[in-house]
């Protein structure tokens, strides 16, 4: 238990940096595209397809993060956050908050945490 606590505390600073990069890039995406309007094109996402896709993204981040000493992960983190910001403000401007709460939020919470943890490690 002591070891786990030490590992978590040791990574807290890097997790904080990941959160700051994510929040900054998302804010930038929202500011740059504040007048954007996006349409919603619903697609059916199967659990296994989504799990496989996210697993491959995580594996790719792990491998490329090791090769590039974390530089790839930082760019991917900022890219993902920027386009989430663009999407959030674009959908909000077109349809309001309801589709964001029902369609984006449930998926985004787990995916953002997974990306932040992957980039931290």
Q: What pLDDT shows up at residue 70?
A: 83
Alpha-carbon span 50 to 39, nearest angstrom = 22
Alpha-carbon span 12 to 4, nearest angstrom = 12
Mean pLDDT of 100-111: 83
- Percentage above 90 pLDDT, the chain: 30
Mean pLDDT of 24-50: 86
The least confident of 26-40, 53-67, 78-92 is: 53-67
- Residue 58 · residue 103 · CB < 8 Å: no
Phi first, then psi: give them for residue 34, nearest 5 degrees: -65, -20
Q: What pLDDT shows up at residue 73?
A: 87
* Residue 19, token pair as written in the block: 């959160």
């Amino acid at each position: 238990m002591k070891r786990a606590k030490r590992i978590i505390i040791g990574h807290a600073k890097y997790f904080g940096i990941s959160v700051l990069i994510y929040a900054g890039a998302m804010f930038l995406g929202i500011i740059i595209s504040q007048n954007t309007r996006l349409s919603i094109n619903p697609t059916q996402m199967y659990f296994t397809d989504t799990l496989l896709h996210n697993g491959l993204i995580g594996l790719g981040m792990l491998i490329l993060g090791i090769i590039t000493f974390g530089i790839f992960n930082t760019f991917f983190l900022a890219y993902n956050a920027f386009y989430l910001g663009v999407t959030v403000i674009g959908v909000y401007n077109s349809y309001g908050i309801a589709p964001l709460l029902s369609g984006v939020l449930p998926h985004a919470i787990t995916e953002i945490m997974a990306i932040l943890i992957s980039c931290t490690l």
